[in-house]
Amino acid sequence: MTSIRVTNEALIVMEGVSKSFPQPDGKGEHLVLHQIDLTIRAGEVVALLGRSGSGKSTLLRIMAGLLKPTKGRVLNRGKQLMGTNPDVAIVFQSFALLPWLTVLGNTELGLEAKGIDRQTRHTQALKALDLVGLDGFESAYPRELSGGMKQRVGFARALVMEPLVLFMDEPFSALDVLTKENLRGEVDDLWNAGQFPSSSIVIVTHDIEEAVFLADRVIVLGSNPGHIRGEVLVDLPRSHDRASPRFKALVDHLYTVMTNPEASVTQDLTTTQPKPVTTSIERSPYSQALPHARSGAVSGLLELLVENSHDQVDIYQLAERLQLTVDDLLPILNAADMLGFAEIMQGDIKLTDIGHDFATTTILRSKDLFRQQVLKQVPMLASIEKTLTEKQNGSMRAEFFMNLLDEYFPRAEAEEQFATAVDWGRYAELFEYDASEDRIYLPAISNR
Amino acid sequence: MRPFPSPEALRRFPFGLADIAVILGTLVLLAAIAKVGAGALVSFQPPDDLPTIDLDPRNLPYYAARSTLRMFVAMFFSLVFTFAYGYVAAKNRRAEKVLVPLLDILQSVPVLGFLSITVTGFIALFPGSLLGLEAASVFAIFTGQVWNMTFSFYQSLKTVPSELDEATRIYRLSGWERFTKLEVPASMMGLLWNAMMSFGGGWFFVTESEAITVLNQEFTLPGLGSYVAAAIAAENLPAMGWAVVTIAVVILLCNWLVWQPLVAWADKFRMEQSAAAAAPESRVYDLFKAARLPSLMGQIFAPISEGINQFLARLTPLRQPRPVNLEQQAQGDRIFNWLLLLIVGALLAALLRFILVTVGVAEVLTVFGLGLITLLRVVILMIVATLIWTPIGVAIGFNPQLAALSQPIVQFLASFPANFLFPFATLFFIRTNISIQIGSIFLMALGAQWYILFNSISGAMSIPTDLREMAKGFNLQGWQLWRKVIIPGIFSTWVTGGITAMGGAWNASIVAEIVSWGPTTLTATGLGSYIEEATRLGDWPRITLGIGMMSLFVVGLNHLFWRRLYQLAETKYHL
């Protein structure tokens, strides 16, 4: 079956939706989503793909009516949505089962709230449990079940409601690899066989392969604030064959797009890559975000690359091999790229000469290289080092740098930026950080 | 597909031995409540028609039952209050602003202070019946039990996992369904734990509230506490001994028949999604599960409860957030804040008038001085108890078998009302000529110290084995070991124990600074004896002043001292 079931009937429409949350310390607001226009049509499976911080879960919750948009509006079947969306059921990342109810009790949760009588409730719930392969487990408690089984209950609880649109919020990301593969396959089979009681599915994910495998349409979200970068139609017959060259090409394209925030999302998969010509526009060294990767992880990645022939490897394969999600892997790749140890191009990552040197030499020499690269490539750390050397006692309150970061990032992100900067700075032996005094200072001369 | 529940289970012969035990147990319980409860309604016309206490030990079971019934009645009211107060505080933004700080203050008022203030009011409420005194006693126990339960419930409501909250909203659960299916179960573990702690502490107050003197008038309520008071007045040492044995048996019975089964039952409300290593067990609960009668009754009543549930669910439909008019809301908030400010201002004015006109500044300063003396006692108690019990607690905690063995004992000691031991100690002080000024520290410690021991044990148990093995590997010993591993490891639990112990010590000071044996009365200088004496004389301004001062000390210490230690424990010594 192909994606022919897609009709033009719009079920959920978002028009110019923005969402901001108040900052925790009560100062100002933090914009999470900016100007989202999105339509979910009957018969399609839509994947919302983005890295953490792209607001994809927030987007889903706005469509579900769990959150109210700050600006713009949501239409559900042509009517403006007020309160929780009655046509939607959600499968949650952490399953969200009530631990004190049995599998049956959990499955009946929504039916009971509808006021359906006991007998009908039981019959319908048992049917749904049967559909997801949980026959015989109805009197078990969630804690007796494995992760995969729990998520099956999550699916049964959602399906029994026969929602018009089924929402899935990273439904497989808490499962181990084999379970994930198995359950994802079964969900796909159910959908392809037309046994799904819903007419559309929206899935939030950060797993590129999962998005291409399940969805007819992949919406790529960008970060800070979350916005729609573009969409890719998965023009393959269902079920999507992973071995097909087109599948690989789509996955490669999405990897390229995800690793490079500047690249445009296109259907013809040619990545116009405006390789960031480090613009001469004077920008604050504290405005450029560091990828959240620990120095140890970067170093580990380089060691791994050096074992490959040509020092080059396909990112998709790398992710498969390391069993890392995009959110874990991409920051490491970006860090290696930023530090000039590696280059990312067309879904591949390749070691540079310096990177090769770094990975093969002694620890002292590689620390030297790291310092040299950090000072050359990362303005933020260079600036921190410069500030410290200009001070007579070579030390500075951390608050000072936090305030600079606050200008460009929401508080939580600023803290993470700071933590990453400290990690890199420590590894490069540029400066040290005393958490109890909250001060940054130059290392004692004797250590240099 | 297996229908639910399986019909063959129901078709089997419906009754077993377990059912007979459950039926008999229920009948005995009902009969006992009827018999004991009737005693609460007897005529009471002071000063001629007073209940008398018979020191014959054979009356002890009856007295014990009276006291126990009071405990459970208070627990019932505590639960009702907890649900109402906690729910409103958690759900209403404006109410929260008032209710939470108020709870913080109420929690710091010494329980016996509530008793002194309210007892005459309650007696006036039910003229000619003992019910007034009963109510005052129940109210005193209630004030000892309720605050931490309410706090725990409020906190659970505020920290319901967000995905569970979203699930109940997306599946459109009504307010009632949300309350019974999500909010109460999610708070069950904390609530039960706090109820147990409160109940243990309650024995102290029940015994104290059964025999008090207000306005130079003695009020006696039949119960274990009044039995002890009578024994003291009669200098009857054997009767005292019997009373101690009785209270010990009662505490153990309550644990065995009520709390253990409840803990075993509540295990299913744990939030963790994985199975526990060792689920709590209870013979009595097993008996209930083995009996078929309860589930049969459940089957019979299912349609009725279903109907009630559906009815209540319709009454409390899912509240959709209304479109908020920010302008209007801000204005409402402003009015609300002004109102609050006005009330606080009026209270402050009343306070100022009270200090300046009613009692005078000199009296306030004297009472503050007395407070410092009692504070000194409390601090000495804390230091000595810590020095003695932490090493013992750590030694026990490091030995798993010993810890498993000693934990129920220590828990029992913590709930054993220390005032039962006061007469023995008093006798000892009189015989050995130890000054009550110092002796009262010992009396206060009798109840308070166990919290430090108890928390040291659990703190030591929570230190990861690999840390301890590391310490052994590096041959850390003595002070080194304490400084590097043990003190940081047990710090946060010690803080928890310290707060509880200190609260207990303040409460105990009211009874520990004045003790008597027969005609001899020993009085120590301090805030506790000041309150007790004012209560005896019925001097309202001084009662209020004393209690207010003590609450001030407790609130102040909590904010200036304990809260900081808590923060330190949370940030630096978090395991």
- Chain A interface, best mutation among B191, B273, B320, by max A CB count within 10 A: B273
A66 contacts in B (CB within 8 Å)?
A: 166, 169-170
pLDDT band for position B3 (cuts 50, 70, 90): very low
Contacts of B4 in chain A (CB under 8 A): 104, 122, 138-139
- Closest partner residue to B2 (CB to CB) among A85, A136, A161 is A136
Per-residue pLDDT at B451: 85
pLDDT for the residue numbered A1:
40
Structure confidence by residue, pLDDT tens digits, B351-372: 888 877 878 888 889 999 999 9
Q: B173 and A109: CB-CB below 8 Å?
A: yes
Give the three-state DSSP class for A233: strand
The answer to whether the beta carbons of residues A64 and A88 sit under 8 Å apart is yes
pLDDT digits 0-9 by tens, B270-314? 776 555 556 677 788 887 777 777 777 777 887 888 888 888 888
- Name the residue among B1, B168, B314 with its Cβ closest to that of A135: B1
Question: Is the Cβ pair A139, B4 closer than 8 Å?
Answer: yes
* Confidence at residue B74, expressed as pLDDT on a 0 to 100 scale: 93
Nearest to A91 by CA among A9, A10, A190: A190
**Distance from C-alpha of A410 to C-alpha of A421, rounded to nearest angstrom:** 16
A193 touches chain B (CB under 8 A): no
Q: Considering CB atoms only, which of A110, A115, A141 is closest to B310?
A: A115
Distance of CA A53 to the CA centre of its chain: 7
* pLDDT exceeds 70 at position A269: no
How would you class B25 by CB atoms within 10 Å of its CB: exposed for 0-12, middle for 13-18, buried for 19 or more?
middle
Region at A380 (left for phi over 0; alpha for psi -120 to 50; beta for the rest): alpha
Q: For A10-259, which CATH class?
A: alpha beta
Contact list, B188 vs chain A (CB under 8 Å): 100
A70: closest CA among A17, A120, A110, A29?
A: A17
pLDDT of residue A308: 76
Confidence label for A313 from pLDDT (cuts 50, 70 and 90): confident
Q: Residue by residue, what is the 3-state secondary structure of B410-437?
A: HHHHHHCCHHHCHHHHHHHHHHHCCCHH
* pTM, two decimal places: 0.81
Q: How far does CA A277 lie from the centroid of its chain?
A: 27
What pLDDT, on a 0 to 100 scale, did the predictor assign at position B352? 83
Q: Which of B4, B164, B177 sits opposite A122 (nearest CB)?
A: B4
Q: How far is A113 from chain B (nearest CA, A)?
A: 5
Amino acid letter for position B241: G
Which residues are bridge partners to A348 per DSSP? A314, A345
User: Please, are residues A226 and A34 in contact by the beta-carbon 8 Å criterion?
Assistant: yes
Q: Which one, of B298, B262, B303, lies nearest residue B280 by Cα?
A: B262
d(CA A126, CA A123): 5
For chain B, give the mean pLDDT: 83
By CA distance, what is B321's nearest residue in A? A83
What integer is the mean pLDDT of A125-154? 90
Give the lowest-confidence range in A196-205, A364-373, B4-13, B519-528. Answer: B4-13
Strand partners, A440: A396, A433
Q: How many CA atoms lie within 13 A of B500 on its CB side?
A: 24
- Long-range pairs of A189-198 with CB within 8 A, sequence gap ≥ 24: A189/A239, A190/A131, A191/A45, A191/A238, A192/A1, A192/A238, A192/A239, A194/A1, A195/A131, A196/A159, A196/A166, A197/A159, A197/A162, A197/A163, A198/A89, A198/A159, A198/A162, A198/A163, A198/A164, A198/A165, A198/A166
Per CB-CB distance under 8 Å, the chain A contacts of B182 are 98
Lateral strand order in the sheet of A79-80: A29-41, A10-22, A71-76, A79-80
Residue scoring higher pLDDT (A26 or A84): A84
CA-to-CA distance for B501 and B19, rounded, in angstroms? 43
d(CA A64, CA A16) in angstroms, rounded, equals: 16
Q: Which of A208 and B11 is assigned the larger pLDDT?
A: A208
Nearest Cα of chain A lies from the Cα of B500 at a distance, in angstroms, of 29
The DSSP element (H or E) to which A12 belongs, if any, is: strand A10-22
Contacts of B161 in chain A (CB under 8 A): 94, 96
* pLDDT value, residue B1: 41
Question: What was the pLDDT predicted at B260?
Answer: 86
Q: How far is CA B164 from CA A93, B157, B181, in A?
A: 11, 12, 11
Helix pair A245-259, A315-322: axis angle to 10 deg: 90
Phi/psi at A159 (nearest 5 deg)? -70, -35
CA-CA-CA-CA torsion sign (B202, B204, B207, B208)? negative
Which pLDDT score is estimated for A7? 62
> Is the pLDDT higher at A7 or at B6?
A7
What's the CATH number of domain A295-446, 3.40.50, 1.10.10, 2.60.40, 3.30.1150?
1.10.10
- Say whether residue A126 is in contact with chain B using an 8 A CB cutoff: yes
| Whether A136 contacts chain B with CB within 8 A | yes
Q: From chain B, which residues contact A within 8 Å (Cβ)?
A: 1-4, 161, 163-164, 166-174, 177, 181-182, 185, 188, 268-275, 302-303, 306, 310, 313-314, 318, 320-321, 323, 572
The domain segmentation of chain A, as residue ranges, is 10-259, 295-446
Residue identified by tokens 């750390």 is A381
Is there a contact between B166 and A96 if contact means CB atoms under 8 Å apart? yes
CB-based contacts of A135-141 (< 8 A; 24+ apart in sequence): A135/B1, A136/B2, A137/A103, A138/A102, A138/A103, A138/A104, A138/A107, A138/B2, A138/B4, A139/A102, A139/A103, A139/A104, A139/B4, A140/A102, A140/A103, A141/A99, A141/A100, A141/A101, A141/A102, A141/A103, A141/B268
Task: Give the mean pLDDT of A335-356.
Answer: 87
Residue A256 has pLDDT above 60, yes or no: yes
A204 contacts A169 by C-beta, under 8 angstroms:
yes
The predicted model gives B175-199 an average pLDDT of 89
Asked whether residue B159 carries a pLDDT value surpassing 60, the answer given is yes
pLDDT higher than threshold 70 for residue B50:
no
| Bridge partners for A396 per DSSP | A440
Strand, helix or coil at B194?
A: helix
B321 and A83 in contact by Cβ < 8 A? yes
A121 contacts chain B (CB < 8 A): no
Half-sphere exposure of A127 (CA within 13 A, CB side): 13
Q: CA of A332, closest CA in chain B: separation in Å?
A: 29
Pick A162 or B478 by higher pLDDT.
A162
Distance CA A19, CA A41 (A): 23
Q: Do A84 and B167 touch (CB under 8 A)?
A: no
CA dihedral A240, A243, A246, A249 (to 10 degrees): 120
Give the pLDDT band (50/70/90) at residue B133. Answer: confident
Euclidean distance between CA atoms B184 and B193, whole angstroms: 14
b/e per residue A101-121 (b: at least 16 CB within 10 A): bbbbbbbbbbbbbeebeeeeb
Band the pLDDT of A127: cuts 50, 70, 90: very high
Chain B residue numbers with beta carbons less than 8 Å from the beta carbon of A110 are 171-172
Question: Percent of chain B having pLDDT more than 90?
Answer: 17
Chain A residues lying within 8 Å of B1, measured CB to CB: 126, 130, 135
Residue B45 has pLDDT above 70, yes or no: no
More confident position, A435 or B214: A435
- Contacting residues of A for B3, CB less than 8 Å apart: 122
Chain A contact set for B302 (CB, 8 A): 118
Per-residue pLDDT tens for B317-331?
777 666 666 777 788
Q: What confidence score (pLDDT) does residue A214 get?
A: 94
Question: What pLDDT shows up at residue A275?
Answer: 47
Calculate what percentage of chain A has a pLDDT beyond 70. 93
What is the predicted ipTM?
0.77
Is pLDDT larger for residue B390 or for residue B403? B390
Which residues contact residue B105 at a Cβ distance below 8 angstroms, ignoring those fewer than 6 apart? B551, B555
Supply the pLDDT for residue A3.
42
| pLDDT tens-place string over residues B480-535 | 888 888 888 888 888 888 888 898 898 888 888 888 887 888 888 999 899 888 88
Q: How distant is the Cα of B490 from the closest Cα of chain A, in angstroms?
A: 20
- Of B515, B400, B543, the C-alpha closest to B461 is B400
Of these ranges, A266-275, A377-386, B115-124, B513-522, the one predicted with the greatest mean pLDDT is A377-386
Calculate mean pLDDT across residues A275-293: 68
Model confidence at A337: pLDDT above 70 = yes
- B294 DSSP β-pair partners: none
**Inter-chain touch A97–B172, beta carbons under 8 Å:** no
How near does any CA of chain B get to the CA of A164, in Å?
A: 13
Q: B320 contacts in A (CB within 8 Å)?
A: 82-84
Q: Do A98 and B166 touch (CB under 8 A)?
A: no
Residue A290 CA to residue A331 CA, distance in Å, equals 9
CA-nearest residue of chain B to A84? Answer: B170
Q: How far is A239 from chain B (nearest CA, A)?
A: 30
Residue type, A244: S
User: Which of B156, B171, B315, B316 would you mutate first to test chain A, the one with the most A CBs within 10 A?
Assistant: B171
What is the rounded CA–CA span in Å between residue A83 and residue B34?
A: 51
Of A64, A88, A141, the CB nearest to B268: A141
Query: pLDDT digits over B56-106, tens only?
Result: 888 899 999 999 999 999 999 999 999 999 999 988 888 888 888 888 888
pLDDT at A446: 40
**CA B198, CA A225: separation in Å to the nearest integer?**
49
Q: Tell me the residue type at A329.
A: L
Query: For the ranges A111-115, B242-246, B352-356, B491-495, which has the lowest average pLDDT?
Result: B352-356
Predicted pLDDT of residue A161 = 92
CA pair distance B541, B546, nearest whole angstrom:
9
Please count the other Cβ atoms lying within 10 Å of the Cβ belonging to residue A84: 18
H or E stretch at A11: strand A10-22
Facing residue for B169 by CB, picked from A66, A126, A139: A66
A84 with B302: Cβ contact below 8 A: no
> Using an 8 Å Cβ cutoff, are B114 and B540 in contact?
no
Residue of B nearest to A104 (CA): B4
- How many beta-carbon pairs below 8 A join chains A and B? 97
In whole angstroms, give the CA distance from residue A339 to residue A371. 10
pLDDT at A5 over 60: no
Mean pLDDT score of chain A = 86
Of residues B2, B172, B314, nearest to A110 (C-beta): B172
Q: Residue B532 has which token pair?
A: 């007790």
Q: Please report residues of A whose CB lies closer than 8 A to that of B272.
A: 99, 143
In the DSSP assignment, the letter for residue B43 is B
Closest residue of chain A to B165, computed from CA coordinates: A96
Residues A181-221 have pLDDT tens digits of 889 999 999 999 988 889 999 999 988 889 999 999 999 99
DSSP helix/strand/coil, B50:
coil
Chain A residues in contact with B185 (beta carbon < 8 A): 98, 100
Q: What pLDDT score was predicted for residue A27?
A: 67
Q: Is A63 on the interface with B (CB under 8 A)?
A: no
Which of B253, B260, B250 shows the shortest CA–CA distance to B227? B250
Structure confidence at residue B2 (pLDDT)? 44
Among A120-129, B444-453, B472-481, the range scoring the smallest mean pLDDT is B472-481
Predicted confidence at residue B42, as pLDDT, reads 64
CA distance A255 to chain B (A): 30
Residues of chain B contacting A157 with CB distance shorter than 8 Å: 171
B174/A92 Cβ within 8 A: no
d(CA B205, CA B145): 10
Q: Looking at the predicted structure, is the pLDDT value of residue A51 above 90?
A: no
Chain A CB contacts of B314 below 8 Å = 115
